[in-house]
Amino acid sequence: MEYVRLGASGLVVSRLCLGMMSYGSPASRDWILGEDAAEPIVRRAVESGVTFFDTADMYSDGVSELVTGRLLAKLFPRRDDYVLATKVYFPMGSGPNDKGLSRKHIMAAIDASLDRLGVDHVDLYQIHRWDNETPIEETMSALHDVVAAGKARYIGASSMFAWQFAKAQQVAETHGWTRFVSMQNHYNLVYREEEREMIPLCRDQGVGVIPWSPLARGLLTGSRERGSEQTTVRSGSDPIADAMYVDADFDVVDAVRAVAAERGLPPARIALAWLLGRPGVTAPIIGATKTEHLVDALAAEPIRLSEEEVAALHAPYRPHAVLGHH
């Protein structure tokens, strides 16, 4: 496993990040694994050198954080041996202050996350989306105080417009508050709109890019076919993916399959190898509900694609409307 710094920060992370959304309460989604089923996969990741783990308070209504905390405590001898990330923004209750990025919610949410995770700090505390109803000055001030209190070592952001991210960073810079060190955005071979503004901004500002949905929710693995045919449990119960990707995206999938066939490899390895080779990308966040998903991800790390292969993967791409945030 290769280890790299998260952007221009001093934080060292594994080249792959294991997304923990897939582990929590099976009652919340058909494809989510409970703790016992998740343990062999997480153990294999740890044994393979993965040290970076990402979850969020809203995954399985907090159960993902509970499972994540228990598994990592069992699999690592020391808290400092792994990098733990979680997120705040989405509703965690029915009250008007149980969501968003107000000071009140951030301060309550970090304490609740730490309690579920069973730790005294997270390494990376991320805002899950932009909050149009809270002044960004209030949000950045509260996040700075979370860091100052020792409850988070660094802060990061997730999908938003580049101008919003730039504004947040400037607000923090102006006031001497903590700046974001990472951007967790939607980026893969069938959705490359982040290459227009967000990724160039991150590269210019030394911000690490940790993309979510690197395999387009399974589209790039062959779990879906033209005409909305699904071949896995997740693809058959994932309305978000059905809304995000369209039949035209299968032209890209076909290109991935062609390159993979030439190499005698699964398509997932080619799609992940492409992402790992993109400028600015630090660590894609991979999901794994089967051991073979993890094996494909680990095997993608050393693959280097030729210029001709990359050109073939790029050729069928068509621009998209914004997907993943509003």
| DSSP secondary structure letters along 209-267 | E--B-TTTTTGGGTSEETTTEE-STTGGG-HHHHHH--GGGHHHHHHHHHHHHHHT--H
Residue 99 zone, left/alpha/beta (φ > 0; ψ -120 to 50; rest): beta
Distances (CA, A) of 239 to 39, 98, 152: 27, 25, 33
Q: Hey, what are 4's tokens?
A: 């790299």
Tokens 């952007």 label which residue?
A: 7
- The catalytic residue positions are 59
Give me the phi and psi of 159, to 5 degrees please. Answer: -45, 125
| DSSP secondary structure letters along 247-260 | GGGHHHHHHHHHHH
Query: How many C-beta atoms surround the C-beta of residue 95 within 10 A?
Result: 9
DSSP annotation of 93: S
Q: What's CA 164's distance to the chain center, in Å?
A: 19
* H-state helical runs in the chain: 35-47, 63-75, 103-117, 136-148, 162-175, 198-205, 239-244, 250-263, 267-276, 291-300, 307-314
Residue 242, classified by CB atoms within 10 Å of its CB into exposed (0-12), middle (13-18) or buried (19+), is middle
Distances (CA, A) of 86 to 114, 158, 235: 10, 11, 25
Q: Rounded to the nearest 10 degrees, what angle do helices 307-314 and 250-263 cross at?
A: 160
